Amino acid sequence: MPTLLRLNLEQFRHEIDRASLPLVFQDAIDYAKRAKLRYLWIDALCIIQDDEEDLSREISAMGNIYSNAHCNIVAAAAADRPVGLFAKGRLPHIPRPTIEFQRKDFSCHCQAFTRDTMSHNDIKLLRRGWVLQERLLSPRSIYFDDQLTWECSELVANEIFPEGLPGFREETPFKIQNLLKVNDIECPSCQVVHVERQMYDQWYKLVSTYMSCQLTYEDDTLPAISGLAKRFNKILNDEYLAGLWKQDLPLALLWFRKTSPKGKLKRTAPSWSWASTRWEIDHVFRLESPTIVAEIIEAKIEYQGADIYGKVTGGYLRMSGYLRPVKDTTSTWEMGCPSEFREWFDDGYSKRGKRSVKGAFYFLLAYRPATQVLSYCNPKKQKTVVWEPARSLGLILELVGDQTDTYRRIGAFAHPLGKHRSEEDAKFVSAFSSICTHCEVRREITII
């Protein structure tokens, strides 16, 4: 496949031989002409592939390219087979029977259909990390697969459901306009802090989705989401720190790995950033507004280039808080264990559910007091009020070589505390089962 190189730059400026292009590119040209679009952007033909400076510059600008495009053409059918945009296969006529549901004085009519007649989210191409921001930032996308699918901020439709997919829901909104919507954001009486809190939560929901996608090169972890970060920062006006936001620290540090790691990882960010991993992640109790006890003294990132949203070469956090050694030498994880005593390690456990924690430390970031919540977990499924136990939340650290007070993150913890713990939880003793924030000495540490 022809690609733009320094060697053929002048030739490509003059002319690109259409016959030498893959069928999918030729079809994209035809589509652009039919839609009366003057310009067509194809990465392989618009970015000099063997010029690091041009690659860095254009990757940094991709967010603007997607945002200002007329539409995003998704060659879904060509992702894993040598075909063009216009797949030859056509969907057969699929009946959509209407079913009536009745119960006492209530009745409704619903259409029955199989999931694969309406969903395009299983398209292999959409599992690629770079495609997520392309999909969200573009004002509209057209998917060329066995059927055509249209996606914009107001509608998702296909050939079977041209008026829109019925009852369609997804955790990640389809367009950045939806993702940046915040409840009550236009309400003059709402607090700015409330709006910012929702925006940070939206960002980390997006990060969780992004980390379930695939990247060919681990170095692309931050660049492949940089366009979205820039759009978020137009609202947040915050300092971006390798995937985290400074004003959201230290809560932003409470991420954990959801899936078992596969193979060795090349670290491309400081250990405290989710970008230092390539596993699916989530965040610990973000919606419960815990009381923060750790303080950020200084945050510093070393960038590989001029783009502060792109690749990084290092960084550190200087923090003040409460540090205690891990007394046990082994941490154990059991499948199906009802205990809420949680310790997540960034590089996982052994196949037997064990790992060494010798020489490790707990660093307390926040705690959440015991709270009353509604529960239906009883034999009669009746609404009851139960107590959620208090929890201490923080990081699991290890010393870096012979350095004093310099640590590397190896995991996160959430330990239930107090009298509302379950019998299973009571078997474990938290390092912070008791702490006096007024009388205990705080430690200043550096995490790299």
Strands 140-144 vs 72-74: parallel, antiparallel or unpaired: parallel
Q: Which of 24-33, 109-118, 172-181, 375-384 holds the top average pLDDT?
A: 24-33
Q: Which residue stretches of 165-211 are H helix?
A: 176-179, 192-210
Q: How far apart are CA 200 and CA 149, in angstroms?
A: 31
Give mean pLDDT, residues 32-61. 94
Q: How would residue 89 be classed by pLDDT, with cut points 50, 70 and 90?
A: low
The answer to whether 364 and 294 have CB atoms below 8 angstroms apart is: yes
The count of residues in the chain is 448
Please report the pLDDT score of residue 190 as a whole number.
46
Maximum pairwise Cα distance, the chain: 77
Please report the pLDDT score of residue 293 as a whole number.
93
**Residue given tokens 């956090």 in the structure block:** 317
Residues 6 or more apart whose CB falls under 8 angstroms from that of 417 comprise: 367, 389, 390, 391, 392, 430, 432, 433
**Residue given tokens 């690109």 in the structure block:** 16
**More confident site: 12 or 424:** 12
**More confident site: 222 or 82:** 222
Please report the pLDDT score of residue 186 as a whole number.
40
Closest CA to 62 of 127, 138, 125: 138
**pLDDT over threshold 80, residue 368:** yes
Q: How far apart are CA 383 and CA 368, in angstroms?
A: 24
Helix (H, G, I), strand (E, B) or coil at 291: strand
**pLDDT over threshold 80, residue 268:** yes
* Least confident span in 7-11, 182-186, 442-446: 182-186
**More confident site: 163 or 114:** 163
The answer to whether 159 and 150 have CB atoms below 8 angstroms apart is: no
And the tokens for 318? 């200087």
Instruction: Give the rounded distance of the alpha carbon of 92 from its chain centre.
Output: 36
**pLDDT over threshold 80, residue 181:** no
For residue 216, which amino acid is it? T
Please report the pLDDT score of residue 21 as a whole number.
95
Relative orientation angle of helices 129-137 and 226-236, to the nearest 10 degrees: 50
Q: How far apart are CA 380 and CA 378, in angstroms?
A: 6
Q: How would residue 33 be classed by pLDDT, with cut points 50, 70 and 90?
A: very high
344 exposure class (CB count in 10 Å sphere: 0-12, 13-18, 19+): buried
Residues 6 or more apart whose CB falls under 8 angstroms from that of 321 comprise: 293, 294, 295, 363, 364, 365, 442, 443, 445
Closest CA to 316 of 292, 298, 336, 295: 298
Q: Which of 5-19, 185-199, 434-448 holds the top average pLDDT?
A: 5-19
Helix (H, G, I), strand (E, B) or coil at 446: strand
Please report the pLDDT score of residue 386 as a whole number.
75
Q: How far apart are CA 251 and CA 245, in angstroms?
A: 10
pLDDT digits (tens, 9 = 90+) for 280-339: 899 886 656 788 999 999 999 999 988 999 999 999 999 999 999 988 766 666 544 556
Residues 6 or more apart whose CB falls under 8 angstroms from that of 413 comprise: 342, 343, 344, 362, 392, 393, 394, 395, 396
Please report the pLDDT score of residue 284 as a whole number.
82
Other C-beta atoms within 10 Å of 38: how many?
A: 7
Q: For the chain, what percent of residues have pLDDT higher than 90?
A: 46
Phi, psi of 37 (to 5 degrees): -100, 130
Q: How far apart are CA 118 and CA 147, in angstroms?
A: 10
Q: How far apart are CA 175 and CA 154, in angstroms?
A: 9
Q: Which H or E run contains 61?
A: helix 52-67
